[in-house]
Structure 1
Amino acid sequence: MILGLSRSWSVSGYLIAAIIILPLLAIIGQALVPDEAVFDHLLDTVLPTYIQNTIILMLGVCFGALVIATPAAWLVARCHFPVRRVFQWALLLPLAMPAYVVAYVYTDLLDYSGPVQRALRGFFNWQSPSDYYFPDVRTLAGASIMLALVLFPYIYLLARTAFMEQSASLQHASRVMGKGPWQSFWRLSLPMARPALAVGASLVAMETAADFATVSYFAVPTLTTAVYDTWLGYGSLSAAAKLSAIMLLVVFSMIGFERFARRKQQLFQKQSGGNEQELYKLTGIKAAMAFSYCGLLLFFSFILPFLILLQYAWHYFDESWNSAFWEYSLNSFYIAAIVSVICVAIGTLLMFIRRISPRGADLLPSRLSSTGYALPGTVLAIGILVPFTYLDFAVNDIYEYLGFPGPGLLFTGSVFILIFAFCIRFAAIAIGSVENSYKRISPSLDMAAITMGLTPKALLWRVHIPLLRRGIFAGLLLVFIECMKELPAALLLRPVGFENLATYVFQFVSDEQLEHGALAAIVIVVVGLVPLIYLNRSLEDR
């Protein structure tokens, strides 16, 4: 409580929060509307399968991500072996790779007509599929593996930080007691890192529940694909809203689990756990095994898919380098630029109100405005379609009442609705980035501003914003990249004839022709590498 605010500032904060939670309220309201028995039909036929597949997929991806990420995080954090410092940041790179691109690449490699099975048939002289068994990639298990390969960095990052911040004295005590690296990991480091692993697993589960492209390509019916198919196939907004409400229940359960697990993270205190002299020195076969494990994980999750994309782009460059590629690239860039600026403005305003308001109730808008990121893209799209569809009809009715021709789909048929959806979904990223920067600004500066007679507006523009430049830049960057990658909301909300890079690439994936969209996929991946490099540098600067 530093400086008094006029009511207009508080009203602005609550207005922004109300707009951001509008889709959530719309889903709840629309879910209560009768849907002409569509939902009852789904409940009696395929809905149990959707729910079962969603739960199995979430559990499978979480298990797979934990199994592959935890050893890598411990090796990088607690052991010294060749190229360790490269692996420290390189194992974050899979986050830049869209999961559906990885799924296509491995399907192309491992299918019956792919190079792996062709090589096996040539080596063993097999003549037909009946001569040997090879697992089918396009299954629920295959989708779990593909998603785990892309999402494991969430767990890796949190686990690595937890391992690095564990007390050095405990590690020394473990050595004095004669425990080797493996025993120290299993009996000391792993139990202490469980809260971080739980948080990472919950984030992976949320991302898995929100995935649409990978499960759609693998023809695995989940709640996400159910929402999409119900709206576009059955045309029932109410049934889609009911399915969205079920997804929200799953997602918010994951958030609640994450919050519960995060409570114990205050037990971890940094005590120079990353010093070179405190690392286990791995030599010989142990060093080779550590290097091989991290190297193979990086190879299969990022290097191999990226190399294949480069090969596709090289061979199909003349077909890919066309006016459509440039048009869709510009669409992605200008929408991402607009959304990133709006989100950072929202985050700065809400965090400024939260910082200087004397009213405790003014903390609420920033918290409410952070809920949008928890909404999966398909759920968010349904929540936005509900109010804006009614608004479009209302505007056209008013025009007709006044004797003028209606403007048509003024909101749902324009790029506005796509920008609106992205702003709601990614405002939380900007809020978090600005909030972290605000923590580094001493309250004494605000006190000095009060002494000098600065108004709240002058305090924001002349004091806070110059000091928030790093957080604002990070927020702009992160929101920009997320907008470039967002697919489910773009598929449902894009105007007729509008494409961006994400929808453009996914169409080629759906048509089994990623080769023609490889150049666009590379642009998405390369742009996505920027925030990962920035994130790693920020962690190293701590």
Structure 2
Amino acid sequence: GLCDFSGPIQTLLRATFGWSKDNYWFPEVRSIGGAVFVMAFVLYPYVYLLGRTAFVNQARNYDDMARTLGRSPFSVFRETSLPLARPSLIAGSALMLMETLSDFGAVQHLAVDTFTTGVYRTWFALGSPEGAARLASMLLLIMLLVLIVEQRSRGRARYYQITGRTEKKEKIRLKGIQGIFASVVCFIPVLFGFVVPAGYLLVLSLPNWTNVLASKFPAHLWNSFSLALLTSVVATMCALFVVYSLRLTGSRLNRLAVRVVSLGYGLPGSVIAVGVLIPMAWLDHVVDGFARSTFGYSTGLIFTGGLLSLMFAYLVRFMAISLNSVQSSMDALGPRMDEAAKSLGAGIWRRLFVIHIP
């Protein structure tokens, strides 16, 4: 790779300074530290995007009231802005946690043994899918406990805007050294999380670019894009329905159901694939047998032979992203908005389409 001994970085260092292997020290990428570095910079958008939305949507009056009480800018951020953004930050952190726990390819490439590698070894090396299923169940239990502990730590606290004032916070424009330093710090995650790896892969693919265009790659790219777009729309609609029903009822059973639905993001992809294909294949067999015995013709693979099973597997895997994003946004909208709309005669569906979706 890019940071290997035979990679371009270390090769350039040896060629420039005339070093040998024993003359210099270079961080070991294939280690726990390297895995933490890679995963942190690759997955930081989960926290950044949700956190940025929370901070941007905060009204200015909170800062104004805190400053009239003599609070410093840092105290305002620590005691006012940060608690208001907590649901979004926790949602992004939970996504990072589940993504890290379920990742196999990156940690395997970086030679780090994790819980997921144990699941794969139990399944393929030891030939025990039952044991792998038990390990995956333990992984789900761990993530469920983490989410419950976080929810318990908040207690009955809720964070939302209770005023109708919608003035946004005033932007602080940094100049000179401060502006340059802030720009560099903000660009570092983008540099190491996207620009460097994507640029390196692009350089490696340039010699074979004509072969790529001449192959079926464009068609495969379109299939992936269309499937991702369709799945994202369905996932967003499902998340809106689930979170809005939770907002209307607020029962513990519904809250537990939301947490359980979110746990699929922490499962390895192969475990989800097997968990989806087995019941789908059984359903195909039942439907086909019924059609043969009743109508005299075969229905074929209705569920496993098309996009239905694949979309369902993607929903199980990525439903947590839609749920956490929608829930953090709805939690920031206080109940007074619903109460005011309800007093004006707005029904459940009208409140959803007029207030919550916009």
Say yes or no: TM over 0.5.
yes
After superposition, the C-alpha distances for 1:414-472 in whole angstroms (9 at most, x for unaligned) are 54322221233445555677776897773356x367xxxxxxxxx96xx578648x94x
| Cα gap change, 1:136 to 1:334, in 2 (>3 Å) | same
Q: Is the 8 A contact 1:370 1:431 kept in 2?
A: no
Deviation at 1:203, TM superposition (A): 3.8
Tell me which of 219, 233, 238 is aligned to 1:327. 219
- Residue of structure 2 aligned with 1:368, choices 213, 235, 257: 257
Residue identity matched to 1:141? G
The residue that corresponds to 1:118 in the other structure is 11
- Work out the CA distance in 1 between the residues paired with 2:261 and 2:273: 11
**Offset, 1:300:** 2.6
Structure 1: distance between partners of 2:227 and 2:305: 16
Letter in 2 for 1:135: P
**How far did residue 121 of structure 1 move?**
0.7
Cα gap change, 1:124/1:323 in structure 2, threshold over 3 Å: closer, same or farther?
closer
1:134 alignment counterpart: 26
**Residue from 133, 150, 153 that aligns with 1:241:** 133
CA contact (8 A) 1:339 1:423 kept: yes
Quote the Cα distance in structure 2 between the aligned partners of 1:466 and 1:268.
20
> Equivalents in 2 of 1:389, 1:232: separation in Å?
21
Q: Distance in 2 between matches of 1:266 and 1:437?
A: 11
User: In the alignment, residue 293 of structure 1 is paired with which amino acid?
Assistant: V
Determine whether 1:205 maps to 2:101.
no
Q: Secondary structure at the match of 1:266?
A: coil
Residue segments in structure 2 that go unaligned for 5+ positions in a row: none
Q: Distance in 2 between matches of 1:466 and 1:273?
A: 24
Question: Which aligned pairs between 1:279-298 and structure 2 lie closer than 5 A?
Answer: 279=172, 282-298=174-190
Query: Percent of aligned positions with the same letter in both sequences?
Result: 30
From the superposition, tell whether residues 351 and 443 of structure 1 become closer, same or farther in structure 2 (CA, over 3 Å). Answer: farther
CA apart distance, 1:317: 1.9
The structure 1 residue matched to 2:63, chosen from 138, 155, 167, is 167
3-state SS of 1:316 partner = helix
**Secondary structure of the equivalent of 1:109?**
coil
- Deviation at 1:366? 8.4
CA distance in 2, matches of 1:434, 1:170: 29
Name the residue aligned to 2:44.
Answer: 152
| Cα contact 2:46–2:92 (8 A) shared by 1 | yes
Cα 1:335–1:200, aligned 2, differ >3 Å: closer, same or farther?
closer
Question: What is the TM-score when the length of structure 2 is the normalising length?
Answer: 0.70
Q: Distance in 2 between matches of 1:418 and 1:115?
A: 39
Aligned 8 A contact 2:50 2:325 in 1: no
The residue type paired with residue 148 of structure 1 is A
- Report whether the alignment pairs 1:274 with 2:173: no
Q: Which residue of the partner structure matches residue 510 of structure 1?
A: none
Alignment of 1:43-62 (within 5 A): none
Quote the offset at 1:247 in angstroms.
Answer: 0.6
Aligned AA (2:159): Q
Alignment TM-score, normalising by the size of structure 1:
0.49
Moved more, 227-236 or 112-121: 227-236
RMSD: 4.6
Distance 1:466 1:247, change over 3 A: closer
Q: Distance in 2 between matches of 1:288 and 1:355?
A: 44
AA aligned opposite 1:121: R
8 Å Cα contact 2:284-2:300 kept in structure 1: yes
Quick one: distance in 1 between partners of 2:153 and 2:91?
6
> What amino acid sits opposite 1:167 in the alignment?
D
From 296, 314, 324, give the equivalent of 1:422.
314
Is 1:443 the counterpart of 2:342? The answer is: yes
* Residue of structure 1 in register with 2:111 after alignment: 219
